[in-house]
Amino acid sequence: MHSNLPQKAYLFQGNALVAPAEDSDFRGTDPVPLKRIADAFGEIEIFTVPAVSGGVIRYADIPPAGPLPEGWGSRQVRLSIHCTAGASALTGEGSIGALLRAFHIAQWRRDSAFCGTCGTRNADAKNELARLCPHCGRREYPRISPAIIVLIRNEDDRALLAHNRSFAPGVYSLIAGFNEAGETLESTAAREIREEVGLEVRDLQYITSQPWPFPNSLMLGFTARYAGGTIKADGVEIEDARWFSRDQLPNLPGTGSVSRHLINLWLQGKI
pLDDT digits (tens, 9 = 90+) for 4-50: 788 999 999 999 999 988 654 455 578 999 999 999 999 999 999 99
CATH of the domain at 217: 3.90.79.10
Are the C-beta atoms of 18 and 68 separated by less than 8 Å?
yes
| pLDDT above 70 as % of the chain | 92
Structural domain span for residue 135: 116-142
Picking from 52, 159, 60, the residue whose alpha carbon sits closest to that of residue 96 is 52
| Residue 91's pLDDT band (cuts 50, 70, 90) | low
| Residue 92's pLDDT band (cuts 50, 70, 90) | low
Q: What's the number of domains the chain is made of?
A: 3
Residue 87 has pLDDT above 50, yes or no: no
- β-pairing, 8-13 vs 32-33, is antiparallel
The answer to whether residue 1 is domain-embedded is no
For residue 226, list its beta bridge partners. Answer: 201
The pLDDT of 165-186, averaged and rounded, is: 96
The answer to whether residue 210 is domain-embedded is yes
Both 232 and 182 in a single domain? yes
pLDDT at 1: 44
Residue 119 has pLDDT above 80, yes or no: yes
Both 77 and 170 in a single domain? no
Both 253 and 196 in a single domain? yes
pLDDT at 28: 59
- 130-159: pLDDT as tens digits: 999 999 999 999 999 999 999 999 999 999
pLDDT at 263: 97
Both 74 and 178 in a single domain? no
Residue 231 has pLDDT above 50, yes or no: yes
Both 158 and 254 in a single domain? yes
Q: Which of 82-96, 197-211, 246-260 has the highest mean pLDDT?
A: 197-211
Both 131 and 193 in a single domain? no
pLDDT at 30: 81
Both 159 and 56 in a single domain? no
Residue 64 has pLDDT above 90, yes or no: no
pLDDT at 84: 53
Quickly list DSSP for 237-250. SEEEEEEE-TTS--
| CA pair distance 174, 115, nearest whole angstrom | 37
* Residues 6 or more apart in contact with residue 71 via CB below 8 angstroms: 20, 21, 22, 40
